[in-house]
Amino acid sequence: MSTSRPVVITGMGAICALGDRGDLIFAALCDGVRPFGPPTTIPADTVPGQVVAEVREFAPERYLRPGNIRPLDRTGRLAVVGVELALADAGWTLERRESEVVGLVVGTMLSGVHTIGEFDRRALRAGPEYASALDFSNSVLNAPAGQVAIWQRLRGINSTIAAGAASGLQALGYALQLVRTGRADVLVAGGVEDVSFESVLGFARANRLAAPGDGGLRGGVPFDATQTGALLGEGAAFLVLEAEETAAARGARTIGRVPGAANGYDPGALTGTGGGEALAATIARALRDAGIPAGGIGAVSASAHGNPDLDRREAAAIEAALGTAVPVTAIKAMTGETLGASGALQTIAALEAMRSGRLPGIAGLAAPDSSIRIDISAATRPLDATRALVTALTPEGNCAALVVTV
């Protein structure tokens, strides 16, 4: 087993409130579209006035070959569509997946929490003998990965990664390591999260959401001093990571490369002494892993989501690792906080930005936090970069950094 093989990206697929194609999502990001509105898939009175970024009129059968989609819950359906789009983009046909081994890594924070809650509540209301056996098989936290593997015939490593809102980015770093070391030749990796009754109510009760009502539509803006929290979004985003030699052998198109990643933790985060140092150290390790000096990074796709304290820590970490000259975007202004899906969405945005020469602005950024010195902008800007950094920092202390190049 060779210790380090170059890893390339051969496909990308994403679905979120902004659209269901990477290029359309990216165009909406650059246009500063903020697709927030009242939720339609959960009871309107869950948190009165709370707005979210939903995938409206989601119709999985539009993307999938004919089959029985009934066993998949909303989380699983978003995931199977995201993976379908990525596999199709990479040219990994069903026939090819039957004869060769492809694996799957799914990042998710809450997985199918609505299915789990409904399963339990039905047993509480009617008695355990009335609980749904189908819902139980979807109640394990790796159910999306299992259901997608069945639908997409992915027989390789099948892993689920949980690191809160850093799950998707950690899933990509985990996949990178497995392909690099020869444990897998091809992995579909990314993340998924849906807007659910449990997540909207739970985040609201934890005071992590922008206040509802009229002000809600102006909430969830990263790096803005006037913000009071995030707005939830949903979606799925996946990339196909492949050993360069495997991709070359099948004549695949290469979208970009993943030269390095790192995973870290801020042990002060849960005790109120969290800072930016742990993420700064994680970024430094990712750059070392990639063999790229700090000065070689041309753009950053950050995880900030409108929590001023957390956003400041991420900005401080980026400044400590890269200085203040590198342009930074934070797409949760437009996608909402998509939790497990967000790291992969940020990564796709970084790749599209480098390919198209435009870095999406941070829509709604009206009062930039004066203590933040990194280079942020409300407006979409021209970009000339071939190496980008993607970062994630969670309230629980999870730190992730990934380097992508084109």
Partner 1 sequence: MEPRPRVVVTGIGVVTSIGIGVGPFWQALLAGTCGISPVESFDTSRYAQHIGGEVKGFDPAPFLRRLRPESMGRAGQLAIAASRLALEDAGVAPASVEPAAVGVSFGTTSGEPALIERFDDQEIGGARDAIGAEFIERYPCHTIAAHVAAELGFAGPNFVIPTACAAGNYAIAWAADALCAGGADVMLAGGSDCFSRITYTGFARLGAIAPERCQPFDKNRRGMVPGEGAAVLVLERADRAAARGARVYAEMAGYGLTCDANHMTAPQGDGAVRAMRLAMQDAGITPEQVAYISAHGTGTAVNDSVETAAVKQAFGAAAPNVAVSSIKSMLGHTMGAASAIEAAVCALAVHDGAMPPTINYETPDPRCDLDYVPNEARRQPVPVAMNNAYAFGGNNASVIFKASRP
Q: Is 233 in the site for partner 1 (CB under 8 A)?
A: no
Please give the residues from 285 up to 304 whose contact with partner 1 meets the rule CB under 8 A. Answer: 285
| Binding residue (CB under 8 A) for partner 1 from 32, 120, 356, 378 | 120
Which residue, 260 or 360, is less far from partner 1 as judged by CB?
Answer: 260
| Binding residue (CB under 8 A) for partner 1 from 50, 75, 170, 307 | 170
Q: How far is the CB of 12 from partner 1 (least distance, A)?
A: 22
| Binding residue (CB under 8 A) for partner 1 from 149, 210, 290, 359 | 149
Q: What are phi and psi of 192, to 5 degrees?
A: -150, 150
Query: 198: helix, coil or strand?
Result: helix
Selected range binding partner 1 among 206-214, 241-249, 356-364, 384-392, rule: CB under 8 A: 206-214
Which residue, 109 or 389, is less far from partner 1 as judged by CB?
Answer: 109
| Binding residue (CB under 8 A) for partner 1 from 93, 181, 254, 324 | 181
Of 314, 339, 308, 310, residue with least CA distance to 328: 314
Q: Is 374 in the site for partner 1 (CB under 8 A)?
A: no
Give the pair of three-digit tokens for residue 122.
């039905």
Please give the residues from 382 up to 401 whose contact with partner 1 meets the rule CB under 8 A. Answer: 396-398
Q: Are strands 103-107 and 381-382 parallel, antiparallel or unpaired?
A: unpaired
Please give the residues from 242 up to 271 whose contact with partner 1 meets the rule CB under 8 A. Answer: 262-271
Please give the residues from 71 up to 90 whose contact with partner 1 meets the rule CB under 8 A. Answer: 71
Cβ-based burial of 121 (10 A; exposed 0-12, middle 13-18, buried ≥19): exposed
Q: Is 68 in the site for partner 1 (CB under 8 A)?
A: no
Q: Is 137 in the site for partner 1 (CB under 8 A)?
A: yes
Selected range binding partner 1 among 33-41, 147-155, 328-336, 374-382, rule: CB under 8 A: 147-155
Q: How far is the CB of 144 from partner 1 (least distance, A)?
A: 9
The partner residues of 335 in beta bridges, in order of sequence, read none
Selected range binding partner 1 among 25-33, 61-69, 277-285, 301-309, rule: CB under 8 A: 277-285
Angle at 337 between CA 331 and CA 343, to 5 degrees: 65
Q: Is 142 in the site for partner 1 (CB under 8 A)?
A: yes
Q: Total residues contacting partner 1 (rule CB under 8 A)?
A: 83
Asked whether the beta carbons of 333 and 363 are under 8 A apart, the reply is yes
Q: What are phi and psi of 172, to 5 degrees?
A: -70, -40
Q: Is 313 in the site for partner 1 (CB under 8 A)?
A: no
Q: What are phi and psi of 364, to 5 degrees?
A: 90, -5
Of 213, 231, 211, 212, residue with least CA distance to 221: 231
The one-letter amino acid code at 322 reads L
Which residue, 169 or 348, is less far from partner 1 as judged by CB?
Answer: 169
Query: 242: helix, coil or strand?
Result: strand
Of 87, 121, 64, 29, residue with least CA distance to 331: 29
Selected range binding partner 1 among 60-68, 136-144, 294-302, 348-356, rule: CB under 8 A: 136-144
Q: Is 50 in the site for partner 1 (CB under 8 A)?
A: no
Asked whether the beta carbons of 238 and 387 are under 8 A apart, the reply is no
**205 Cβ partners below 8 Å, 6+ apart?**
none
Which residue, 29 or 283, is less far from partner 1 as judged by CB?
Answer: 283
Selected range binding partner 1 among 22-30, 113-121, 218-226, 369-377, rule: CB under 8 A: 113-121
Which residue, 360 or 397, is less far from partner 1 as judged by CB?
Answer: 397
Q: Are strands 328-329 and 358-359 parallel, antiparallel or unpaired?
A: unpaired
Q: How far is the CB of 343 from partner 1 (least distance, A)?
A: 12
Q: Is 404 in the site for partner 1 (CB under 8 A)?
A: no
Give the pair of three-digit tokens for residue 21.
């194609």
Instruction: For residue 349, give the H/E element and its range.
Output: helix 342-356
Query: 84: helix, coil or strand?
Result: helix
Q: Is 162 in the site for partner 1 (CB under 8 A)?
A: yes
In DSSP notation, 361-386 reads: --TT--SB-TT--SB--SS-EE---S
| Binding residue (CB under 8 A) for partner 1 from 56, 183, 253, 373 | 183
Q: Is 155 in the site for partner 1 (CB under 8 A)?
A: yes
